């Protein structure tokens, strides 16, 4: 009899738990359906999926097999594959060589050769360590006994293909720093910092006060009323000589800056380093060049390393660094096929999905960052992918780097979390696309993966974020 009572009690607890979960998922469904009926979302595509990782079961699904534009959600696939192949301690390594010989007076009768590794943060001005790269390289040249270079500074970018951007990236994107793409040797995140100030009157041309690194820019930015929203866009493709900028800034603006894409990163790096050496007491007789084929006889001067993969991943996912995602994507393609290009990177990722026993029919991935609208994914695939990654040995590195920077407007979508719970969210946004995916853990220590994907809505982004926050508020109560 006691045994029977114990069984009945256990069944009652299970049924109560199941009933509570059903009530909670009913609330999620109520909110999702309510949002779907709003005029701004009525003609949009809204897909939601929640998967219980602890119990390996999908507990909520609405349109979860619908093919959607993922935007920056692609970065999760790229960075997880990088962890799997490279490990969290991986760093990009850039090599400095010289050819020829050094005489007793410290003259190198030969060339300095910089071999790029696709490092996305090489010579970046955003970080103290990378901003001092030229100093480290020149110090290594001096330590090698070189005081004069009777030759050239060459840059080898052959690790990656020449195609810096994917063909279906939008024209409005590729002239700006976030659409710069990646090459075998990147420089300053392939970006140009452009500072503006407003004209004296509404309608006057805005004035460019500084450009760094300096490139030709045709300025068509005008001054608007004081309540104008900043809107500046740069236009131009890789390997063009300059950029065109158009837009508007508010009257009274004394200094504001935007970042354009750098047209010739490797070439600019070679010229800049040559000038740096000349300015710091090392003469260089020849002019710099790119796409140099490594000579058979050369000697290594030093290896300059970058951030480890954990830091690169955090920058990739939290600040949506597209160049970092594209560099990792092409690097993995290089490891697979010997050459870093979009097609080989895509093949590597599809191989990785199959290793995780995921159906590749639920995803179409053409780049590493998600800038292309040719990318497609289902919400169900995203939750299953996050489930599979949660079972990998690198998971805690992966999830620790995951998040949305507080400086990003999408940060407002993260709801207040109940006590004893936690959440990690990645956003993927572009015009007409607001996606939020990630993990949360409830107060029973059950882990869930979730995906909320919305495409082609008819409202401003802030409104859509508030609607998605309403869904997330119900999800974290499961």
Between the CA of residue 153 and those of 281, 388, 469, what are the distances in Å?
Answer: 15, 46, 53
Q: What is the pLDDT of residues 48-67, one digit of tens each?
A: 999 999 999 999 999 999 99
Mean pLDDT of the region 117-133: 93
Residue 5 has pLDDT above 80, yes or no: no
Mean pLDDT, residues 436-444 taken together: 94
Cα 425 from Cα 402, distance rounded (Å): 7
- The yes-or-no verdict on residue 318 having pLDDT over 80 is yes
Whether residue 1 has pLDDT greater than 80: no
% the chain with pLDDT above 70: 95
At residue 7, does pLDDT exceed 70?
no
pLDDT score for 13: 42
pLDDT of residue 295: 78
pLDDT grade for 319, boundaries at 50, 70 and 90: confident
Q: What are phi and psi of 71, to 5 degrees?
A: 55, -135
Q: Does residue 434 surpass a pLDDT of 50? A: yes
- ∠ CA 71-74-77, nearest 5°, is 165
- Find tokens 């006060």 and name the residue: 209
What is the mean predicted confidence (pLDDT) over 71-100? 96
List the one residue out of 244, 233, 256, 238 whose CA is nearest residue 176: 233
What residue ranges define each of the domains in the chain, with the CATH number in brackets? 21-87+309-475 (3.40.710.10), 91-307 (3.50.80.20)
User: What value does the mean pLDDT take over residues 214-236?
Assistant: 96
The pLDDT score that the predictor gives to residue 12 is 43
In this structure, what DSSP letter does residue 73 have? G
Greater confidence, 226 or 23? 226
408 falls in which pLDDT band (50, 70, 90)?
A: confident
> In this predicted model, what pLDDT tens digit does every residue of 363-382 receive, in sequence order?
999 999 999 999 999 999 99
pLDDT of 9 over the 80 cut: no
- pLDDT of the residue at 34: 92
SS3 100: coil
Distance, CA of 164 to CA of 187 (rounded, Å): 13
Arithmetic mean of pLDDT, 352-370: 97
Give the least confident one: 7-11, 30-34, 352-356. Answer: 7-11
How much helix, strand and coil, in percent to the nearest 5, is found in the chain?
A: 35, 25, 35
Q: Which residue has the higher pLDDT, 233 or 11?
A: 233
Which of these, 93, 187, 97, lies nearest to 141 by C-alpha position? 97
**Average pLDDT of the segment spanning 402-426:** 90
Residue 10: per-residue pLDDT? 44
Contacts of 364 (CB under 8 A, 6+ apart): 67, 374, 375, 376, 377
Instruction: For residue 160, give Cα distances in angstroms to 178, 335, 342, 397, 443.
Output: 19, 11, 9, 27, 47
Cβ-contact 316, 324 below 8 angstroms: yes
pLDDT in tens, 273-289: 999 999 999 999 999 98
Please compute the mean of the pLDDT values over residues 160-181 and round it to a whole number: 95
């Amino acid at each position: 009899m006691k045994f029977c009572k114990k069984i009945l009690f256990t069944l009652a607890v299970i049924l109560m738990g199941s009933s509570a979960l059903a009530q909670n998922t009913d609330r999620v469904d109520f909110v999702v359906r309510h949002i779907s009926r709003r005029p701004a979302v009525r003609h949009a595509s809204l897909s939601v999926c929640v998967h219980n990782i602890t119990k390996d079961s999908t507990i909520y699904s609405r349109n979860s097999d619908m093919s959607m534009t993922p935007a920056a959600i692609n970065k999760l696939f790229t960075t997880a594959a990088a962890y799997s192949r490279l490990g969290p301690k991986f760093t990009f390594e850039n090599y400095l060589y010289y050819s020829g010989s050094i005489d007793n007076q410290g003259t190198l009768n030969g060339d300095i050769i910089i071999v790029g590794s696709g490092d996305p943060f090489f010579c970046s001005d955003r970080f103290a360590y990378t901003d001092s790269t030229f100093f480290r390289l020149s110090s290594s040249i001096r330590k090698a006994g070189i005081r004069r270079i009777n030759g050239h500074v060459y840059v080898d970018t052959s690790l990656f293909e020449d195609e810096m951007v994917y063909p279906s990236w939008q024209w409005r994107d590729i002239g700006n720093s976030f659409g710069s793409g990646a090459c075998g040797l990147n420089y300053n995140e392939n970006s140009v910092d452009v500072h503006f100030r407003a004209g004296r009157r509404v309608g006057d041309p805005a004035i460019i006060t500084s450009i760094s690194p300096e490139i030709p820019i045709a300025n068509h930015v005008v001054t608007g009323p004081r309540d104008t929203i900043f809107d500046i866009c740069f236009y131009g493709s890789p390997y063009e000589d300059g950029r065109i900028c158009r837009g508007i800034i508010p009257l009274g603006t004394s200094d504001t800056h935007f970042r354009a894409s750098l047209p010739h990163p490797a070439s600019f790096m070679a010229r800049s380093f040559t000038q740096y050496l000349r300015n710091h007491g090392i003469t260089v007789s020849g002019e710099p060049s790119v796409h140099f084929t490594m000579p058979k006889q050369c000697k290594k001067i030093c290896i300059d390393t970058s951030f480890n993969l954990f830091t690169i991943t955090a920058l990739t996912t939290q600040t949506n660094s597209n160049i970092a995602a594209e560099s990792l994507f092409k690097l993995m393609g290089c490891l697979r096929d010997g050459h870093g290009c979009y097609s080989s990177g895509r093949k590597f990722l599809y191989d990785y999905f199959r290793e995780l026993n995921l159906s590749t029919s639920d995803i179409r991935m053409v780049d590493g960052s998600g800038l292309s609208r040719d990318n497609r994914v289902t919400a169900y695939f995203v939750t299953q992918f996050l489930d599979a990654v949660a079972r990998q040995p690198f998971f805690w590195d992966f999830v620790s780097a995951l998040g949305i920077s507080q400086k990003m407007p999408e940060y407002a979508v993260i709801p207040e979390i109940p006590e004893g719970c936690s959440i990690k969210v990645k956003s993927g946004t572009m015009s007409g696309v607001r996606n939020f995916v990630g993990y949360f853990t409830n107060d029973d220590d059950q882990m869930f993966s979730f995906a909320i994907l919305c495409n082609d809505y008819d409202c401003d982004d802030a409104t859509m974020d508030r609607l998605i926050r309403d869904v997330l508020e119900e999800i974290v109560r499961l």
